[in-house]
Structure 1
Amino acid sequence: MMSERARGCGHPVGSHTGEVPTLASATVGARFWLLVEHTGPWASHLSECALPAEVHALIERATELGVRPQLIRRPGRRDEAAGPLRILVADTTAEVPWLAEGFFDDPGDLDLGSLVRGVVPESCILVKEPVFLVCTHARRNACCARIGLPIARVLGESLPGRVWETTHVGGDRYAANLVCLPHGLYYGSMSQAAAIAAANAYRHGEIVLDRFRGRAGIPEPSQAAEHFVRAHTGELSVGGVAVESTRSDGDVTEAVVRHGDVRFRVVVERTVFAPCGTACADTIMTYRLAALEPIRCGTPVLT
């Protein structure tokens, strides 16, 4: 039976409207990705899905290696895919992030060891165009399907062959969630117009800061530091900002962030956002900017 949480959104007012801060909320443990085509149905958790035993074995092996597994299907499609199993793999935090695709009669033939070494498996071919994932996992949270399905359909019509519905990507309070691969860029609380704008920007190598959750696979304080430097400088290119080093003390993190030839000292603090404006039971952790300044010659930097 579907849980109470899955039946309704169960999140604070404004969670899905863009009123709640989304920054620095991309899934930290998602550097490597395994996407397995399965048209459904999708249970609440992957371990409960009706998948062939060899696919379950692949997902278990991926999880043990720190690879994030996802099920994917084309928007609106529910017919079973015939022929070999389609699988996509990605390394989102490599110096040059990449995405590759392969078709397998036996999923056990996929070399996940190569993936975690940052090497494209021999059985896969690099994908040159970006891919977009929209979470539509109704059994995990009803809002993911209610809001995500129309967005997946519209994006799929705009970018045929580039869009997939997917299972839980993390942060269902931010539904609808959009993930842009191969860089692992997360967006949340998306409308159809916002999703199209974000996808088009990514196709041109840029980020839209509005409703941008951050980049998967890097710590949340680093995501926050990058976000505030982008907001300060107006830098929107995907690779235009990078954290060089960080030092944390409790909820406070000091980071050195590079933007072109300039480096910034950025201090961010983890804080609570209460949607009600009072002490809500269901609060959201976010980050505030405590300091941001250019590092001048001779200024000590983090080591």
Structure 2
Amino acid sequence: MTDRCTALSAAAGEDQAGTAPGEGVWLLVEQPGPWGRKALRESDLPADVAALLGGLGAHVAPGAPDVRVQLVRRPGRAGPAAAGVGAGRTVLAARPSGPGGTLAVARLEVDDLRALLDHDPADLAAGHLAGATPYEGPLWLVCTNGRRDVCCAELGRPVAAVLAERWPAATWETTHLGGHRFSATLLALPTGVTLGRLDPVTALAACAELEAGRLPLDVTRGRAGLPATAQVAELALRRHLGVTGIGDVTVVGTDEGGVELEVGAGGARWYAAVTSRPGVPSPASCGDTKPKAAPVHEVELRPLGA
């Protein structure tokens, strides 16, 4: 295990802040059974459904958040995927619902995934599911695709299993959250908070904190949908002030030099000047043959209007 990307990243002291996915819209499609490295094309999805899902990026409206399509399955559900009529699938969509980064989540049950072919691709790309109902409660999405990176399977599946024991309705395995070297990784909805370097014990504690409305700073990579600089700035300000409430810090805006943040609704404003430089090259995943230099961010905080 010492040559795994997770071990090499931890040994190098790499900071995972600012590594949450940048997409702001999520479409989660249940597909049990084995997943390949390129999950949409290598998971027994009907070819026309795979083509639809794989092409949604072309239907994102100008200026709208990018869409990310993930396959999901319940922990412990093995065996070949049934692709035909009567298979029964859950489809979940999450999209921005206002300031603060929280997403609106909707759920749709279909008998056959080909039902998605009846939806407008532009609607799907915007996170709108015709006929869906609002989903209340948390969702824990744990990356477990070992064909993409072995660390995700070895470290992610035990995390998914233990979370499923406590939150069976909320827990799903998923195909790719990025940041293999920070496995086990998890996306929490509706908050968009992305966690990394989890094990079964820290995952249970972190998800309990999120459920209680608090951010587990020690294992947080950032909030999905925000630029890396904004993710880093939010975490830096939270650590500086000792603020952990999910809604206690809001990213107000970004510019070339940094990020403006607000503490509380209508509260104090701060500016975080963020500078980035290449870090020490290291493998981004166990399958990489060429090490890459991930960015290292430095943050300088100052209050506004003081």
When normalised by structure 1's length, the TM-score is 0.84
Q: 2:270 aligns with which of 260, 264, 268?
A: 264
Matched AA of 1:72: V
Q: Is the aligned partner of 1:287 residue 2:270?
A: no
Shift of 1:191: 1.5
Count of aligned residue pairs for this structure pair: 281
Does residue 1:55 correspond to 2:59, yes or no? no
Aligned to 1:124: 132
- TM-superposed CA distance for 1:244, in Å, is 1.6
Q: Which residue, out of 80, 83, 88, partners 1:84?
A: 88
The within-5 A match list for 1:12-161 is: 13-15=7-9, 19-28=13-22, 30-45=23-38, 46-65=40-59, 66-79=66-79, 80=81, 83-92=87-96, 94-95=98-99, 96-104=102-110, 105=112, 106-114=115-123, 116-117=125-126, 120-161=128-169
TM-score normalised according to structure 2 size: 0.83
1:255 equivalent in alignment to 2:259: yes
Question: How far did residue 10 of structure 1 move?
Answer: 4.9
Listed as ranges, the gaps of 5+ residues in structure 1 are 1-6, 298-303
Cα distance in 1 for residues equivalent to 2:281 and 2:119: 45
Q: Offset of 1:172 from its aligned partner?
A: 1.0
Distance in 1, matches of 2:164 and 2:75, equals: 6
Aligned Cα root-mean-square deviation (Å): 2.6
For the residues of structure 2 that align with 1:196 and 1:17, how far apart are their CA atoms?
A: 24
Q: Percent identity?
A: 34
Query: Which one-letter code corresponds to 1:269 in the other structure?
Result: T
Conservation of the 8 A alpha-carbon contact between 1:32 and 1:115 = no
* Partner SS state of residue 48, structure 1: coil
Task: Give a deviation string over 1:55-96, Cα, whole Å, max 9, x none.
Answer: 213312423234211111111111557543221111146445
Runs of 4+ in 1 over 6 A off after TM superposition: none
Q: More deviation in 98-107 or 220-229?
A: 98-107
Q: 1:8 to 1:34 in 2, by over 3 A?
A: farther
Which runs of no fewer than 5 residues in structure 2 stay unpaired?
Answer: 60-65, 283-289
Q: How does 1:107-256 map to 2 (within 5 A)?
A: 107-114=116-123, 116-117=125-126, 120-248=128-256, 253-256=257-260
Does the CA contact (< 8 Å) of 2:25 and 2:126 recur in 1?
A: no
CA distance in 1, matches of 2:76, 2:11: 24
In the alignment, is the contact (CA less than 8 A) between 1:186 and 1:216 conserved in 2?
yes
2:5 is paired with a residue whose SS is: coil
Aligned to 1:300: none
The answer to whether the 8 A contact 1:177-1:187 is kept is: yes
Structure 1 residue 243 displacement after superposition: 1.9
- 1:47 aligned counterpart, secondary structure: coil
